[in-house]
Amino acid sequence: MRETWNRATPVVELSTQDATALFNKNLYVVESIEPTKGGLANTNLRVQFERLELKLLLRLWTRDPKAAGKEFRLMQMMEGVVPVPKINLFSRNNPVNGYPFMFMEWIDGVRLESILGELYKSDIEHLGQSIGKTLASIHAYRFDQAGFFDEELEVAIPMEMGGAGLLRYTEECLDNPVVSERLGSELAAITRNFVKSENHLLDKWTECPCLTHSDFNCSNILVKKSEFWEVAAVLDWEFAFSGTPFFDFGNLLRNPFGAIPGMTDAVEQGYLDGGGTLPPEWKRMSKLTDLTAWLDFLTRENTGPELISDARAQISRTIAEW
- pTM score > 0.75 for this model? yes
Per-residue model confidence (pLDDT) at position 38? 64
Angle of helix 245-252 relative to helix 282-299, nearest 10 degrees? 80
Same domain for 316 and 185, yes or no, is: yes
State mean pLDDT over 226-230. 92
CATH of the domain at 276: 3.90.1200.10
Same domain for 184 and 209, yes or no, is: yes
Same domain for 26 and 123, yes or no, is: no
Q: CA–CA separation, 41 vs 63, rounded Å?
A: 6
Per-residue model confidence (pLDDT) at position 311? 95
- The answer to whether the CB of 22 falls within 8 A of the CB of 35 is no
Is residue 1 pLDDT above 70, yes or no? no
Residue 185 CB-density burial (10 A; 0-12 exposed, 13-18 middle, 19+ buried):
exposed
Tens digits of residue pLDDT in 65-106: 999 999 999 999 999 999 999 999 999 999 888 899 999 999
Range of the domain at 57: 2-106
Same domain for 59 and 129, yes or no, is: no
Q: Report the half-sphere exposure of 36 (CA within 13 A, side-chain side).
A: 27
CATH of the domain at 49: 3.30.200.20
Average pLDDT across the chain, whole number: 92
Same domain for 99 and 117, yes or no, is: no
Same domain for 143 and 185, yes or no, is: yes
Tens digits of residue pLDDT in 30-40: 889 998 876 66
Q: CA–CA separation, 179 vs 294, rounded Å?
A: 10
Same domain for 30 and 134, yes or no, is: no
| Domain-terminating residue out of 106, 124, 144 | 106
| Domain-terminating residue out of 73, 106, 139 | 106
Per-residue model confidence (pLDDT) at position 39? 63
Same domain for 150 and 240, yes or no, is: yes
Tens digits of residue pLDDT in 181-221: 999 999 999 999 999 999 999 999 999 999 999 999 999 99
State mean pLDDT over 242-256. 96
Per-residue model confidence (pLDDT) at position 174? 96
Helices (H) and strands (E) in the chain, counts: 10, 12
Same domain for 118 and 100, yes or no, is: no
